[in-house]
Structure formats: C-alpha cells, structure tokens
C-alpha cells in the first residue's frame, strides 16, 4: 500500500517529485526518473538489507499464535471447507460472537435470526469470514495503540481487503492461480506494513517524515531509509513458514518482473493493488507497465474495463465490512 496509497503533502523546493505518465519525476536537484515501484527499482533498492539489529527485532517478534497458524493452514489448503473454519472459530468465544452479530446485522437483511455458526458462515460467505478471522487474529498479534495508529491501521486494512477482492476477481479467468489463493495473497501482501506500524514504529514514522519532507511516495522514502515493508514482510513470511508464493507476492508486488518465481500470482496481486489505489491515482491503471501485465495475464481490454468499473463497488463493500468489523 505504499507507493500509491499515500503521498504526503507538498513541500517547498525543487526536489519535490511530480506525477506524470505513471512515473514520479525528480525535480532539479534530482536527475533520476524512477517508477512508482513497478517495473524496476534502482540499485540502492535492490541491495539486501543488512540483518544486524533488524534481524534481532524480527527474531524477537512473538511466535505465530496457534489460532493464526491454524487459520493460515486453512487458507493454504485448497480442500478446506466452511466446517474447518467453523471448527477454528468455535475455540474463540469473542470471534464466534462477532461472526454471529455480523450475520444478524441489517447489512445482510435476513428476516429470521441466525442462531448457529454454520448458518452465519453461509450468510456472510467463506471469503468474508476468513477475512474477519485473519483481521482479528492479526490484530491480536500486532496490537496498535492511539488514534493515529488506529487511523493508519484502518487505511492498511481497507487497502488489503480491496486488493484481495480485486485479486480474486482477476483470478477467476486465469488458470495459474485459483480465486481463493489470489484472495488470500491479497490479504497478506502488505503484512510488512502492519508489522512496521507496531514493531518498527520509529522506522515507520521516519519513513513517513521523509515522504512528507521530500514530497515523495512512501516507496521512495523507504529506499532512502534502507528499510522496506516488503523486506520485513518477507522475513515474517519465512519465519511463519508460509509457502513460497506468499514470499514472492509480499516481496515483489511492486516489482513483479523481478520475482524469481510465481510471477503470474505476483502480477495479479500487483494489478489488484493498483485497482485498490485507483481513486488516488486513476492515471496509473493506464500506464505502460499495467498494459504489459494485462497482456501477460491474458486479460482482454473488455475484461480490464470491467475491473476498472468495479472499483467503486468494491470500495463501498469494504467500507461497509469495516464498519461491521468495528
């Protein structure tokens, strides 16, 4: 959610970047033209992060909670069913109550009261319930404090929920990635930002300050700080034992062509990520690299226009879901 989702306030001086043709162009004091994290990055961004204190912080993160481990197992198992999810939820009284409360909300408009968890899952939908479970379990793993942190968390979660929905819709007609897998990859693609907000708060704030001071996207601010959410997210994915495709999507969703493997999945999430940011950057969905990814994924112009037309609907659905979650 970085390079496109948040561009801080303008700053004075000629070093400010300006948006044009899907790129951020440096002012007079900077002679480099860099993409918004798509297609290529500079040599500085390609350097591996030195471990040092950062690796110690990663290693000191709380271990993967048993409930989250079970949920991730359900998400990774293509044969998982609603009954598996129900079994997980039953062990969490608060989560069970939330699912039942949501199923009985006016949003779903049922005349009869939903009294059982299985009926609640059917009412809300398998994907939505997975999202709710993941949201709650990750919130427990990465708790935030203060109104500012909660505001950042809300933006992060709305973004990943929109990305997940768009990714699932794109994957519907693609043979390489299932709809369920694309949805789950979208949910976790910005895991690094969530971890930074809680466990690397100083770095998180410094990156935002760099972006504000220089008037640049967060993606470029990360490079100057030499700590990126994609690197942290990949480390956590490795520590949690997630499958390789998750590592690739988390690490390369801004630079899909550089992914050593699983490029179709990475490109699907990359396009979904852009669709989730279309309100802020409508021109970027027509950029050259988007056209390349579209052709690589065999997405027709007609289909792509359909995805563009669904952006506002998806945003409204996620806004409603967020209100229910909170």
Q: What is the pLDDT along the chain (326 residues), one digit of tens a residue?
A: 333 333 333 333 333 333 433 333 333 323 222 333 444 433 433 344 444 566 666 666 667 788 888 998 888 887 888 899 999 999 888 889 989 999 998 888 888 899 999 999 999 998 889 888 988 888 888 887 766 678 888 888 999 999 999 999 999 999 999 998 999 999 999 999 988 888 888 888 899 888 889 877 677 788 888 788 998 999 889 888 899 999 999 999 989 999 999 999 999 999 999 999 888 777 778 788 899 999 999 999 999 999 999 999 999 999 988 888 87
Which range of residues forms the domain containing residue 122?
A: 60-141
Q: Are 150 and 172 in contact (CB under 8 A)?
A: no
Phi and psi for 28 in degrees, rounded to 5?
Answer: -65, -30
- Same domain for 254 and 222: yes
Distance in angstroms (rounded) separating the CA atoms of residues 89 and 67? 9
pLDDT at residue 139, rounded to an integer:
83
- Same domain for 315 and 214: yes
Choosing from 107, 141, 175, the residue where a domain stops is 141
Domain for residue 4, yes or no? Answer: no
Among left, alpha and beta (phi > 0; psi -120 to 50; other), residue 39 is left
- How far does Cα 71 stand from its chain's mean position? 18
- Same domain for 75 and 32: no
> Smallest Cα–Cα separation from 95: which of 60, 54, 136?
136
Predicted model pTM: 0.78
- Same domain for 247 and 168: yes
- Same domain for 96 and 229: no
Domain for residue 264, yes or no? Answer: yes
Question: Residue 193: is it exposed, middle or buried by C-beta count within 10 angstroms (0-12/13-18/19+)?
Answer: buried
| Domain count for the chain | 2
Dihedral Cα 126, 133, 218, 181, nearest 10 deg: -40
- How far does Cα 33 stand from its chain's mean position? 26
- Same domain for 287 and 179: yes
Look up the CATH number of the domain holding residue 310.
1.10.3210.10
- Same domain for 283 and 325: yes
Choosing from 114, 141, 168, the residue where a domain stops is 141
């Amino acid at each position: 959610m970085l390079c496109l989702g948040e561009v801080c306030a303008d700053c004075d001086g000629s070093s400010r970047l300006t948006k044009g043709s899907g790129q951020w162009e440096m002012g007079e004091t900077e002679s480099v033209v860099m993409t918004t994290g798509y297609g290529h990055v500079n040599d500085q961004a390609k350097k591996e992060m030195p471990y040092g204190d950062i690796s110690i912080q990663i290693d000191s993160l709380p271990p993967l909670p048993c409930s989250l481990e079970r949920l991730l197992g359900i998400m990774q198992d293509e044969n998982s069913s609603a009954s598996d999810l129900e079994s997980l939820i039953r062990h969490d009284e608060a989560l069970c109550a939330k699912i039942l409360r949501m199923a009985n909300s006016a949003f779903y408009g049922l005349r009869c009261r939903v009294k059982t968890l299985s009926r609640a899952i059917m009412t809300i939908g398998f994907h939505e319930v997975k999202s709710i479970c993941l949201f709650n379990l990750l919130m427990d793993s990465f708790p935030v404090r203060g109104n500012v942190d909660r505001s950042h968390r809300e933006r992060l979660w709305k973004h990943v929920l929109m990305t997940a929905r768009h990714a699932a819709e794109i994957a519907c007609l693609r043979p390489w990635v299932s709809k369920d897998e694309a949805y789950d990859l979208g949910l976790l693609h910005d895991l690094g930002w969530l971890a930074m907000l809680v466990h690397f708060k100083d770095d998180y704030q410094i990156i935002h300050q760099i972006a504000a001071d220089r008037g640049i996207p967060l993606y470029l601010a990360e490079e100057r700080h030499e700590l990126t959410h994609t690197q942290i997210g990949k480390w956590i994915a490795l520590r949690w034992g997630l499958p390789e495709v998750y590592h690739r999507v988390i690490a390369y969703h801004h630079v899909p062509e550089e992914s050593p493997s699983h490029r179709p999945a990475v490109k699907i999430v990359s396009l979904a990520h852009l669709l989730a940011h279309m309100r802020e950057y409508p021109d970027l969905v027509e950029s050259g690299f988007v056209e390349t990814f579209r052709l690589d994924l065999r997405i027709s112009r007609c289909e792509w226009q359909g995805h563009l037309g669904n952006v506002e609907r998806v945003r409204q659905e996620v806004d409603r879901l967020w209100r229910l979650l909170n």
